[in-house]
Every structure is written in structure tokens, then in C-alpha cells.
Homo-oligomer: A and B are copies of this chain.
Amino acid sequence: MSGDTTPALIDCPALGIGELARRAGCKPETVRYYERIGLLRDAPRTEGGQRRYGEAAVRRLTFIRHARDFGFSVEAVRELLEMADHPQMPCHEVDAIAKHHLEEVESRLQRLSALREELRRMVGQCAGGRVESCRIIEVLSDHQLCIGESAHGGAQGLG
């Protein structure tokens, strides 16, 4: 395009799949995977069949990556995206989905906050001592970190 932008080209998505993936911090294969399972919409194509994406897709993919990074399952991410895609969705459905995820988020926040406090304390205490003086091992063996049964759901996370 070399700076020569014509109005007719302003609406044309400009990003290839590689650039989209790079911006959202994942691989092109992942993008194709998400398209296949329906989290991302089919992208417009060039005449040559190459996908092209705009800023909305960047935002959507970034959302997906972040949500996954928190442990939301793909299915939970799907539900959240459904809500975002249908602002006119009946309130009771939004309510049910939002409340369900809110519970999980609250739980995860509590656990992360507890971990943060302990990590801060540990970092503060480790002033050239030995492992036996560190409490990270004791802390992570401490049942006080357990907040309800959901705290023992393994590494399954949210969803």
C-alpha cells in the first residue's frame, strides 16, 4: 500500500493469519483451530484464498487467549462470546451465564489473592537464607489455601 491509501481500501482487512496470531500471542494453527471449532468467524479471503483480518478479530482473539490463559475452558469461552455477540439476548440467559462465571472468577480471585500475599511474604523473607527458611513449601501444603471444594478441582480451572 506504501502510504497510498485510497478510500475504497480503508475497509479492507489487512492482517494475514500470521500477523493476527502474532498480535494475540498464539500460532496460526491455533487461529485455524479456533475457526474450525467456531470461536472465530470465517475470515474474508483474498482472491488467492488467504484469510485477512481486521482489528475486531484481533480483539476477539486476544480475548480468547486471555480467557484460556485464565483457565476458562473452550466451552466457557464460547458461552462468553455468545453473550457478547448477542447483546439482545434475553436477560435471564445472560444472568445465568454471567452468574455461573462470576462464581468461578470470584473463587479464582480469592485463591490468587491468597497466593499473591504469600508470594510477597516469601519474597520479602528470602534474604540470602536457605530453603528450610522459606515458607513456600509449607504455604503450598497448607490447607488454609483451600477455599471450598472447588479449590480441589485439579488444574481444570474455569468452565
Q: Which residues of A contact B (CB under 8 A)?
A: 24-26, 30, 58-60, 62-63, 65-71, 80-81, 83-84, 86-92, 94-95, 97-99, 101-102, 105-106, 108-109, 111-113, 115-116, 119-120, 122-123, 126, 128-134, 136-138, 140-141, 143, 145-146, 149, 151-155, 157
Question: B126 and A92: CB pair below 8 A?
Answer: yes
Question: B112 and A98: CB pair below 8 A?
Answer: no
A74 CB, min distance to chain B CBs, angstroms:
9
**CB-defined contacts of A58 to chain B, threshold 8 Å:** 141
The A contact surface, by secondary structure, is: helix
Q: How many monomers of this chain does the complex have? A: 2
Question: A116 and B105: CB pair below 8 A?
Answer: yes
Would you mind naming 13 contact pairs between A and B with Cβ atoms under 8 Å apart? A60-B137, A69-B151, A70-B115, A81-B137, A84-B131, A88-B131, A91-B126, A91-B128, A91-B134, A92-B128, A95-B122, A95-B126, A109-B116
**CB-defined contacts of A30 to chain B, threshold 8 Å:** 154
CA gap between A52 and B65 in the complex, in Å? 42
A136 CB, min distance to chain B CBs, angstroms:
5
Question: B87 and A131: CB pair below 8 A?
Answer: yes
- What are the nearest 7 A-B pairs in CB distance? A25-B152, A87-B132, A95-B126, A62-B141, A59-B141, A63-B141, A84-B137
